[in-house]
Amino acid sequence: DTGVSQNPRHKITKRGQNVTFRCDPISEHNRLYWYRQTLGQGPEFLTYFQNEAQLEKSRLLSDRFSAERPKGSFSTLEIQRTEQGDSAMYLCASSFPTTGNTIYFGEGSWLTVV
């Protein structure tokens, strides 16, 4: 297993377009988190899944954002009608209780909205 995988790594899109990011967590990790990070800031929590259930969403996640984890494995984060303020890095992380809740991060997906 090579860790948490995210793709695409970079996405440039025009304002108003939809984008989708995918996260493949470490196998058997039942907890999956999405964070957003803008330049010069620490990451901010967006949403959390335990298996396929989305158990928490931040107020940062507007109606244009939707996340799914349909089979409790990979997850997708879709942004509809992108705005320039959505430009950020979207980070995925996963963890599993018996590994002491150490959190493993992906490399992130950079979004630039032009």
Partner 1 sequence: KNEVEQSPQNLTAQEGEFITINCSYSVGISALHWLQQHPGGGIVSLFMLSSGKKKHGRLIATINIQEKHSSLHITASHPRDSAVYICAISLGWGSGGSNYKLTFGKGTLLTVNP
Q: Which of 5, 45, 73, 80 binds partner 1 (CB under 8 A)?
A: 45
Q: HSE of 82 in the Cβ direction (CA atoms, 13 Å)?
A: 20
Nearest-5° Cα angle at 76, 99 to 112 = 110
Binding mask 48-87 for partner 1 (x = CB under 8 A): x-x----xx-------------------------------
Burial class of residue 109, CB neighbours in 10 A (0-12, 13-18, 19+): buried
Shortest gap between Cβ of 17 and partner 1 (angstroms)? Answer: 22
Q: Which of 26, 79, 91, 113 binds partner 1 (CB under 8 A)?
A: 91
Q: Is there a contact between 3 and 103 (Cβ–Cβ < 8 Å)?
A: no
Q: Which stretches of the chain bind partner 1, using CB under 8 A?
A: 30-31, 33, 35, 37, 40-45, 48, 50, 55-56, 89, 91, 93, 95, 97, 100-108, 110
